[in-house]
Chain A
Amino acid sequence: MYRATLKSIRGHIGRTIATAAAVIIGISFLAGTLIFTDSVQRAFDNLFATVFETTDAQVRSSEVVDAGFGIQVRSRIDESLVDDVAAVDGVSGVDGFVQGTATVVGNDGEPIGNPGQGPPTFGFSWTEDDQLSQFNVIDGREPVGPGEVVLDENTATTGTLQVGEQVQILSSAGSERFELVGIARFGTSNSIGGASSALFELSEAQRVLGAEGTLDAIGVRADEGIDEADIAARIGEILPAGAEVITGSEATEEAQSAIADGLSFFNIFLTAFAVIAIFVSAFVIANTFSILIAQRTRELALFRALGAARGQILRSVILEAVVIGVVGSLLGVLFGAALSYALQALLRLAGLELPSEGLVLLPRTVIVSLVIGTIVTVGSALFPAIRAARITPIEALREASAETWKRNNIRLAIGLVVTALGGVSILFGLLAPEIALAGLGAGFMFIGVFVLGPTIAKPVARVLGAPIAAFRGTTGNLARDNSMRNPKRTARTASALTIGVALVAGVTVLAASLKSSIEGTVAENFAGDVVIDSGSFGPGGGFSPQLAADVEALDEVDVATSLRVGVGEVEGSGDFIIAVEPVAFEILDVGIVEGSPTDLVGETIMLLDNNAEDLGVGIGDSIAVQFTDGIDRDLTVVGIYEDASFAGNQLVGQDLYQSTAAEQLDFAAYVRLADGVDIEDGRAAIDSVTAAYPNAEVQDRQEFIDSQSAQLDNILNLIFGLLGLAIIIAAFGIANTLRLSTIERTREIGLLRAVGMTRSQVRSTVRWEAVITALFGAMLGVALGLFFGYAIVLALRDQGEISLTIPFRALTTVVILAAIVGLLASIIPSIRASRLNILAAISSGQ
């Protein structure tokens, strides 16, 4: 029996590979994600280990503000600490260090890197102590005075900047030019993981990075023979409150785990798509096995007639699944490695050079892939296997062996119940909000629709096929009949595509709804004429406040005011805090419910209504806020507003924010032109100021509104790209089914060929069947997607104004693309079908 199984696998190697393809793709994505993150982690681990090799201890502030989203900002310490630390017995060398944001402008006038959308753009002080220095100059020399800068090798290459040239650098100090005196590597790497680094002499760095008189950290080297724990303990004794010391190895570990955290987000994100891919694969595998079992009914019945026990049949089918699962998973790991390599290459092309030390394939990756791949394959084959075991010997003698399907009301009822259950879980899950419940609900809905599929496939295929039958004549008619003859198979084949399309459609609906509400709110709430946007949001991005000041000074401008974002802890929990000038309220409407914006001066704060409610405070109450300087402040609530689109959860005055010593960078400035100035003249005047700031983009009202919603597009494209994977797997499923169906219909095709069907007509028949199947899957997917989108919009409605917008054009495109996927999937099966040897086909027994 087992030998027969293995023979069957070997005898149908093409079929086996096609089944395995689904496993391979799903697993390769999972393995690729693991290999990629492991490789990057290993490379960074080694990099930091080298970088901190000579650092025995590090002194820094103990105040950290965690704004969530992985953003942590540590306070600075007073620079006078350097001398105190140097005086500690056993310390042989110290070096003060500052860090901030400085964006380098390349020779083409474009800023290199955008912290809003990619790796950070760092500004650092140069560490004079050679042994403590993390950078090594490879060309030129280190920076020693004002007006000098050293860049990392990657940035210099990207900007085609050479030693001796003048380099424009944007920072909170404004837009300035420096002489490029040297090019350096970070450890052995050409950059810090793709981030740009501009290195200045310490006091110049303090000026440029807005850190006068302060330091971010002090690196310490101990005398020979004193170990790092010892020196750290000694330093710890003399440190004032608010400062702390860690050992060099702790610094290494921290840096490593910070990378690990960053990667883990990436990892979770990619893994979510791997899970989707594997879920879809399971459908494809289950379907393929069902068809195979149906086709082999007579063969299996013959085994039964010859004395094979049910258990033997069951085990034989499972064995086949195990073989496919194991082989598929192993190949998946192999492809995963290739995928990971390709991803690194792709990132390199995009200018994000990660330190690379080859691919890291941990045993864990192989084990996880193998276990998941095999379990999914065997699990998917289980029901078909049980069905196979139920085959009675007498079925060997029956004429028709192909799968049959009868309408079954119990099945219909179960399908409806499961679908409804899924729908309800999604709604509850999203409103609770309990994301896991919503995810489970989505899974239930897919399964429910999977159960319902066969019942609706026949009538839907009839309708979908009608125009094809009408326009394509006999071939269209046959294609339609073929898609209707086995509704169970059609529905199952389409189900994989349904999942992919449902997710794409759901995201599309959500995005359209978000966009239209963003456009609506922005248009409603912005009363100005021009926006200057940095394309960045969050600490570490933006342009100098000098820009808004210069624009305001223009004759053509009535009001120019900026928004700045920082982080702080509000009543103990980290969040973004937006800093504004009171004048901003003249052109930005945040929907003030209570209080007066003119009071937003000094130690005051304004809160979003929901936020005030959560905190249980009102006008006149005071709340505890800590900025990155670590000072506890009690701020008086002077206003409550209801629209978060510009203002976020809380607003403070820029005067207060400036006093916190946090980096002062505006992410955007809003302008109202003076009376009588037309937009062209106004823009021209503003352009003359912004010319010095290549990271500032001047937009008129409409451009601004468009760009706000365009920000979603990048994320959307990424998500669509990843969901494309599920659709590729679905395409394999369609190809697989078509292939098996045409094999099943060998005699029929032979007959058609004999009585005069040309090869191209055969291809056309297979092709249109694929299109009908794909359209069926896509329509079902769009229906589900609409529901998902609706559910999410419903859940979001609570948090802001959003209404359901159905993007008809985008959804039509999705359906058309799905039809094209079906078409592509049919290419190989249709060619195979058309090349059948007529005689062999007619006389093929059965």
Chain B
Amino acid sequence: MSKTTDNLPPRPAADDLGPPVSTGAPNGSAASARSASKVYGMGDTEVHALRDVDVSFEAGRFTAIMGPSGSGKSTLMQCMAGLDRLSSGEAFIGPQALSALGDKALTTLRRDKIGFIFQAYNLIPTLTTRENITLPLDLAGRKGESDWIDEVIETVGLSDRQTHRPTELSGGQQQRVAVARALASRPEIIFGDEPTGNLDSRTGAEILDFMRRAVDDLSQTIVMVTHDPVSAAYSDRVLFLADGRIVHELLDPTADLVFDTMRSLGD
């Protein structure tokens, strides 16, 4: 595990895989960005959500992205996850440069290589728990390994809720389904956007535990946007964004440490 800081120099690495454009992706990172910039609007109303950000998320680690509203943390996550496109620079999932992909290829990439946990409205109301969990696999027309699916469902404690619809589940259960879905397709990386933002702290802690275990036990890679120091403390590494730039990084954080850092940055 490298202990690089925020301004790691992007090194083009001759990569193992790949007909697709792969220059610029650092070796061994599950996802990375190079000179990533995002500008909304034009002229007077121009807003720089990201300014020339270089970042790398190593495989098998749990990273938290923090920052005040408008700091660009959600934009960074969305661009990294292929939900939005950068204005300039490049984002990579593994060796794959996202700007090279059309809508269809990008969608397929999200489906096969990325898991998502959103703050709310994670589930399709007409589908059962199990159908929601296997949705990305079903969309791909893949069978998936049902042993693995069972294991995931078991892990999140929803074995007796498999045929329930989302409206019959509590908020915490719904988020657990979302976590299970993110894990089901064994993606290269999972992005969470305030995954516990709508939950009470006890239920939230439960979800974060699942995520932590996914990293520790299953070697998943997780990147999570949050504004809560306690949530951030579950991660291995916390990146602080302000004004579209990465301004600080903490390794092996505690809630207090995160809190203090936030305060010092805020002043």
**Of A473, A478, A481, A751, which is within 8 A of B121 by CB?**
A751
Contacts of A754 in B (CB 8 A): 83, 110, 116, 118
Number of interface residues of B (CB under 8 A): 27
**Of A481, A755, A842, which is within 8 A of B110 by CB?**
A755
**Of A484, A748, A759, which is within 8 A of B124 by CB?**
A748
B103 at the interface (CB under 8 A from A): yes
Pairwise interchain contact B126-A757, C-beta atoms closer than 8 A? no
B112 at the interface (CB under 8 A from A): yes
Q: Mark A743-779, 1 if CB is under 8 A from B, else 0.
A: 0000110011111111111000000000000000000
The tally of CB-CB contacts under 8 A between chains A and B is: 70
**Of A478, A755, A760, which is within 8 A of B111 by CB?**
A755
Pairwise interchain contact A755-B121, C-beta atoms closer than 8 A? no
**B83, chain A: closest CB distance, angstroms:** 5
Contacts of B141 in A (CB 8 A): 473
Q: Is the interface of A mostly helix, strand, loop or mixed?
A: helix
A482 at the interface (CB under 8 A from B): yes
| CB under 8 Å from chain B, chain A span 462-517 | 473-474, 477-478, 481-482, 484-485
Q: Mark B104-143, 1 if CB is under 8 A from A, else 0.
A: 1001101110001010011111110001000110111100
Pairwise interchain contact B121-A756, C-beta atoms closer than 8 A? no
Pairwise interchain contact A755-B126, C-beta atoms closer than 8 A? no
Number of interface residues of A (CB under 8 A): 24
A839 at the interface (CB under 8 A from B): yes
A440 at the interface (CB under 8 A from B): no
Pairwise interchain contact A485-B125, C-beta atoms closer than 8 A? yes
Pairwise interchain contact B181-A755, C-beta atoms closer than 8 A? yes
B88 at the interface (CB under 8 A from A): no
B84 at the interface (CB under 8 A from A): yes
Pairwise interchain contact A839-B139, C-beta atoms closer than 8 A? no
Pairwise interchain contact A481-B126, C-beta atoms closer than 8 A? yes
Given the known interface contacts A758-B104, A759-B107, the answer about A478 and B118 at a Cβ–Cβ threshold of 8 Å is no
- Docked CA distance A753–B108 (Å): 10
**A841, chain B: closest CB distance, angstroms:** 10
| CB under 8 Å from chain A, chain B span 165-184 | 181
- Docked CA distance A752–B181 (Å): 12
Contacts of B118 in A (CB 8 A): 751, 754, 842
**Of B78, B124, B138, which is within 8 A of A473 by CB?**
B138
Pairwise interchain contact B116-A755, C-beta atoms closer than 8 A? yes
Contacts of A473 in B (CB 8 A): 138, 141
Pairwise interchain contact A761-B139, C-beta atoms closer than 8 A? yes
**A751, chain B: closest CB distance, angstroms:** 7
**A546, chain B: closest CB distance, angstroms:** 76
- Docked CA distance A553–B139 (Å): 80
A838 at the interface (CB under 8 A from B): yes
Q: Mark A718-758, 1 if CB is under 8 A from B, else 0.
A: 00000000000000000000000000000110011111111
Pairwise interchain contact A757-B116, C-beta atoms closer than 8 A? no
Known: A477-B127, A756-B136, A759-B104. 5 other contacts (CB 8 A): A481-B127, A751-B122, A756-B112, A759-B103, A842-B83
Q: A-B pairs with the 6 shortest C-beta distances?
A: A756-B111, A481-B126, A474-B138, A758-B107, A756-B136, A756-B110
Q: Which residues of A contact B (CB under 8 A)?
A: 473-474, 477-478, 481-482, 484-485, 747-748, 751-761, 838-839, 842
Can you show 12 pairs from A to B with CB atoms below 8 A apart?
A473-B138, A474-B135, A477-B127, A477-B138, A482-B126, A751-B121, A752-B135, A754-B110, A754-B116, A756-B112, A758-B139, A838-B83
